[in-house]
Structure 1
């Protein structure tokens, strides 16, 4: 071919494809082009494509050179795979390229089209392993014959790519099965999708963020130092207890509510959030953790509890300024992830909140427990070092390493551990699982929040580049990103308003509250905190009997609302027990019931410290002896025992109760229905004489018992 025929095109290289057609690498007016020879005459201009895909390069127009027709494509920084030094690429990167090749083929097949030509000469990539396929000009209607040809071409190309240009080399058996599936004569249009899923699964498992390697000794040293901090063991125990509650359906509500109720501050804060405008769509105030779980779901309440526990604990440390700044950044990342979840196709919004927050866990732990090292890291960053480089140089591990190791120590489930992992550099591939989509979302939010706290950069340009990086994974557009950023800022302002005037005053906190993607847009309006429903949880803030009456009254209303709808009997009984437990300050509150008329009472479930040890021990044979449990049921009489060692009482306390050693004062409320002795509501305190119940409290306590009887009457077979 002579360049003189068309002097404006400078031919750089000629690549011959297996089908006899050529690909010319050329330049014209400073633009790099790929000219793909066509077997048929091309139209004067490319038609508007109805099956456009970001990895399918759009052709620019026809070119005629030396009597041959070519389709012109912008090459820019892309080079054909044929010219790529494949042996220098790790296997995982080559498989990533293979995944990117299959993705647009699947899109074409779904549109009833096929590419027709798939060779190392017609697939381009850049130094970041971003792929672009040539051939839009030659797309044809899909037919069984053309599909068969395309699958064979795909199998040959992928085998060549994965083997680094040596297709005769033996392949990993797991990879071989997906390549062989493309070659199967019976393969259909779903073969590419199945192959992509298999390769993506292999890639996900082999590119997992490794929590065991890379500075393991340094990580162990950091974890050991945190274990010796005065408050870290208590925080770890609380978080691990909440995570441990993810067990069988019949037990997990009890386990989760018990874990939360051990922390009065967490209980009150969680109920306040549940009763806020963001969660009150079901109507009416919620006064118990048990009902909150029933209404909003186990996962929502567990994840809310974890986020509150983590943020509240690490936000309220004494050396507060720089810690509050990082804590607010951590919270905002989670709020942004939760806000963006629906727009990004992530269903578990509250789980997105956790994963988003945990993206910054390593930095938050560092600023809390390694203050000197944190300041050294900040100094290195100010001097021009990257965050990862500065953290590794100072700590011997990255922030992500520290966060992942601690989250594993806290027994977070595997899907959340996956969701908090950072994404590798380069374009983020289309996720094949919900876990990988969650990971992409939380990683996007972390990167965006870090970007928004930086000064001296063009936020609009940086945001567009970030959206481009995640465009295939999340399909997030500019308008939803702006809208949800403003929503997250509103939620952050409302939350910080509750924490006091010093919250959110740090430079990064201020930057996040006022951040805009586009400086030409008006600044976000300062929004007042959303009014929340009346707070039924102020037992600690309201002194004495009045505060307990507030909790008991709210609980009675809570149970009334539950009785008016569909409910499970055990769920409602747990709400009653929790109201008793919190409203009267019991050490333990339990329900004892009989499985049959001739069987003894047996404690079913309840609340209080080490209640799981008390449940099997509390077993009363009411048909023999002279115990107070039998008397209460026989007489259907409520009993308040002030001191089990009082002379008039001691002989009526059964031996099995003394062996438990649980409490010296307790109350018994019999559950008798139509002369059937069903069970007893039980509440206790350890110290004798400490259980004083005012008349109004006693009236509300009896109302709770009557509500229990009403629920049992409606569902008698389920007790």
Structure 2
């Protein structure tokens, strides 16, 4: 029950970004078309034709060397369906929609782009492994392989703050799955399975995307084969993209994987090794691997920039400025909150929104254990001699360098001390409209540090600019949206 509740909250957080529900609906529609025998292809054809880019990709793949023997010169989606089969094209569409969604959602962060490319490479491995077999089963295996990575992709793309915490734990030697469970309370695989369920993907895909156990022989061979394809493709992609791995060690690891999976894949280990390394060479010349190398070539510069708080905050301001004023308040607040969290590497952030009842309520937040704290965070607009009321009366932000100082501690309200014990430093950023009314308050803190942290004047200026930019989204937000925050 606790995991189910947590997954519901994660989905709520991802839905705030606006584009995620569109992916869910698109995949559900595609799966519905595949499972409806009465559509006579027309439903799936319409899904493909409604997206010009998707149409071109389906036709390009249908005419690729891999599928040439099945159809020759295929110029229409209907012909592709007739020749390749509804299941094959349907699974192809699902895979393309997943990849395209994350391409279009790709943030500026290099780690997100690298994770997406690693996922795409695993899909290339799966397609290469299955190119001489049944088309339907081959595309089904590609979808399983992509879905095995989906939990991690959703965290990287939609839960920036939590992903940063996971990476910090991984840097200390913890495994990725263990770190994910430590931070989120669920594993990447559990998040991926939840996505597969909510997108109404078939049961075979849901079991095919899970962990492979070569000793488990009490399940249908098709299930074990799918798991082997999925896990082998994922592990090969991980080895091929591991930075600074000598070529000799890479070849040894690929050979070990081939030995482990060859029996279930019904392939000679040497054939698997040759296929994997040949694909790596092809992709390095002109494909996903090349892009990964190019991204890594610039990784140091990007990492240095990401460590500069002012640059991070101003980049967030630029992203907010690019959003139309009527694009929705929740996405803008989430973007601003994540910018503050990542830019200053805070422990957590909270957005307080003023409601018509004269109360500032915490509407969203990011960071460790924030979901449990949010319902307890609110304060009335009526004046009290504390720093929160000082902040909402200000037009610029307030930085409290040492919240543990006895004089400052006396200015902290009781509700705050109960919720956030142990904070060393924090910032309060008022969001003020042109009529001078404060409609929101952004909070971010550093906790459990022996030495108080500082915010420079230039960083504070960037934070104030971020808060000012948020004001226009409140000006356009309907009252009904404000009340739901």
TM-score, length of structure 2 as denominator length:
0.54
Deviation of the 1:264 alpha carbon: 2.5
CA distance 1:482–1:218, shift in 2 (3 Å): same
Does 2:157 correspond to 1:364? Answer: no
> What is the match of residue 29 of structure 2?
241
Deviation of the 1:490 alpha carbon: 6.2
Match of 2:189 among 400, 416, 428: 400
Q: Which moved more, 1:474-483 or 1:404-413?
A: 474-483
CA distance 1:364–1:354, shift in 2 (3 Å): same
Deviation of the 1:429 alpha carbon: 4.5
> What is the match of residue 51 of structure 2?
263
Deviation of the 1:336 alpha carbon: 0.8
> What is the match of residue 315 of structure 1?
103
Q: CA RMSD in A?
A: 3.3
Q: Is the 8 A contact 1:274 1:292 kept in 2?
A: yes
CA distance 1:486–1:456, shift in 2 (3 Å): closer
Q: Is the 8 A contact 1:343 1:476 kept in 2?
A: no
1:261-293 deviation per Cα after TM superposition (whole angstroms, max 9, x unaligned) = 222322233223323333333565333211110
CA distance 1:223–1:508, shift in 2 (3 Å): farther
Does 2:234 correspond to 1:446? Answer: yes
> What is the match of residue 375 of structure 1?
164
Match of 1:341 among 121, 126, 130: 130
> What is the match of residue 9 of structure 2?
221
How far apart, CA to CA, are the structure 2 residues paired with 1:446 and 1:502? 18
CA distance 1:480–1:472, shift in 2 (3 Å): closer
Q: Is the 8 A contact 1:362 1:399 kept in 2?
A: yes
Q: Is the 8 A contact 2:151 2:188 kept in 1?
A: yes
How far apart, CA to CA, are the structure 2 residues paired with 1:358 and 1:434? 17
CA distance 1:502–1:348, shift in 2 (3 Å): closer
CA distance 1:278–1:434, shift in 2 (3 Å): same
CA distance 1:467–1:502, shift in 2 (3 Å): closer
Does 2:64 correspond to 1:276? Answer: yes
> What is the match of residue 13 of structure 1?
none
How far apart, CA to CA, are the structure 2 residues paired with 1:305 and 1:453? 26
How far apart, CA to CA, are the structure 2 residues paired with 1:284 and 1:343? 16
Does 2:141 correspond to 1:352? Answer: yes
State how 1:137-176 maps to structure 2 within 5 Å: none
How far apart, CA to CA, are the structure 1 residues paired with 2:56 and 2:8? 35
Q: Is the 8 A contact 1:346 1:434 kept in 2?
A: no
> What is the match of residue 489 of structure 1?
280
CA distance 1:381–1:491, shift in 2 (3 Å): same
TM-score, length of structure 1 as denominator length:
0.38
How far apart, CA to CA, are the structure 2 residues paired with 1:276 and 1:493? 19
CA distance 1:272–1:421, shift in 2 (3 Å): same
CA distance 1:464–1:368, shift in 2 (3 Å): same
Q: Could you say which structure has the larger radius of gyration?
A: 1
Q: Is the 8 A contact 2:259 2:269 kept in 1?
A: no
Unaligned 5+ runs, structure 1: 1-212, 511-719
Does 2:262 correspond to 1:474? Answer: no
CA distance 1:464–1:484, shift in 2 (3 Å): closer
> What is the match of residue 79 of structure 2?
291
How far apart, CA to CA, are the structure 2 residues paired with 1:359 and 1:282? 29
Deviation of the 1:408 alpha carbon: 1.1
Q: Is the 8 A contact 1:419 1:435 kept in 2?
A: yes
- Larger helix percent: 2
Deviation of the 1:384 alpha carbon: 0.6
> What is the match of residue 471 of structure 2?
none
Q: Is the 8 A contact 1:328 1:504 kept in 2?
A: no
Q: Is the 8 A contact 1:260 1:266 kept in 2?
A: yes
> What is the match of residue 324 of structure 1?
113
Unaligned 5+ runs, structure 2: 300-485
State how 1:616-627 maps to structure 2 within 5 Å: none
Deviation of the 1:391 alpha carbon: 0.8
Deviation of the 1:387 alpha carbon: 1.1
Match of 1:303 among 60, 68, 91: 91
CA distance 1:405–1:290, shift in 2 (3 Å): same
How far apart, CA to CA, are the structure 2 residues paired with 1:323 and 1:385? 20
Q: Is the 8 A contact 1:323 1:367 kept in 2?
A: yes
How far apart, CA to CA, are the structure 1 residues paired with 2:127 and 2:2? 31
Compare relative contact order (CA 8 Å, sep 6+) and give the higher one, 1 or 2.
2
CA distance 1:286–1:471, shift in 2 (3 Å): closer
CA distance 1:318–1:452, shift in 2 (3 Å): closer
1:283-318 deviation per Cα after TM superposition (whole angstroms, max 9, x unaligned) = 653332111101111112111111111111202335
**What SS does structure 2 have at the residue aligned with 1:412?**
coil
> What is the match of residue 684 of structure 1?
none
1:59-85 deviation per Cα after TM superposition (whole angstroms, max 9, x unaligned) = xxxxxxxxxxxxxxxxxxxxxxxxxxx
1:588-634 deviation per Cα after TM superposition (whole angstroms, max 9, x unaligned) = xxxxxxxxxxxxxxxxxxxxxxxxxxxxxxxxxxxxxxxxxxxxxxx
> What is the match of residue 295 of structure 2?
506
How far apart, CA to CA, are the structure 1 residues paired with 2:255 and 2:219? 20
**What SS does structure 1 have at the residue aligned with 2:212?**
coil
Q: Is the 8 A contact 2:123 2:146 kept in 1?
A: yes
Q: Is the 8 A contact 2:236 2:276 kept in 1?
A: no
Deviation of the 1:442 alpha carbon: 0.8
**What SS does structure 1 have at the residue aligned with 2:294?**
coil
1:411-462 deviation per Cα after TM superposition (whole angstroms, max 9, x unaligned) = 11111111111225x7565863312221122122222322333345833443
